[in-house]
Amino acid sequence: MIEFRGARRRLVETLREKGVTDLAVLRAVDIVPRHLFVPGGLVHRAYEDSALPLGDGQTISQPFVHAMSLQLLQLTGAERVLEVGTGSGYQTALLATLAAQVFSVERVPSLLDRAREALRKCGASNVSLMLGDGSIGWREQAPFDAIVVSAAATEVPEPLAEQLAEGGRMVIPIGSAAQQSLTLFHKVSGAIQRRDIFAVKFVPLRGRFGSKKT
């Protein structure tokens, strides 16, 4: 990890220049070894501020998108967080430094296996992983103080809205394959308030309550 310390610091400065101000999020980016979560042939690009392919039709998102998503959640360290779409496990590792407990669901077995190993290597001990349909959430562990979804849906999956605790925040890309917005939902007095943040491009959320074809 020592040989990548300078690269991580440069990535942190890039994110700061782009508007990431949450010091806890910046610290997470500084200490989590992203190179453990990218395919071997792309390790030299691990600290670029860009999305990278993982295989299985999936990607590891741009660090700026990860950082802004986590900043929007306004985590204090005491939360129980649901992540829909473990993917590489990198965002899971970031969440592990920012929250009390992380529950992450992935539908692709090979991705989950690789993520589990990478998370073990970086010492994330407050993470629970499950293979399954993330669009239905993880009802046995609900409610969640925060939910972050790593794939795009045409609307908020109903189970996720139900599993979000009062006062909780959810970040999810909303839109069609052609046009999506990273969107923040805040549950206040049982109602969901919506705020669109910026345009993004994510793979579609699969599953029972996943993205509908548009």
One DSSP character per residue, 107-129 reads S-HHHHHHHHHHHHHTT--SEEE
What is the rounded CA–CA span in Å between residue 149 and residue 145?
14
pLDDT of residue 213: 60
Query: Which is catalytic among the residues 61, 69, 104, 150?
Result: 61
Which DSSP letter does residue 199 get?
Answer: E
To the query of whether residue 88 is one of the catalytic residues in this protein, the response is no
Q: CA-CA distances (angstroms) from residue 128 to 103, 118, 166?
A: 5, 14, 22
Q: What is the pLDDT of residues 102-138, one digit of tens each?
A: 999 999 999 999 999 999 999 999 999 999 999 999 9
pLDDT of residue 3: 66
Which has the closest alpha carbon to 94: 172, 191, 178, 8? Answer: 8
3-class DSSP assignment, residue 77 = coil
> For the CA atoms of 195, 197, 203, 209, what is the dihedral angle to 10 degrees?
-10
Give the C-alpha separation, 106 to 129, whole Å: 8
- Distance, CA of 114 to CA of 165 (rounded, Å): 30
Q: Which regions of the chain are under pLDDT 70?
A: 1-3, 213-214
- DSSP-derived secondary structure letter, 100: S
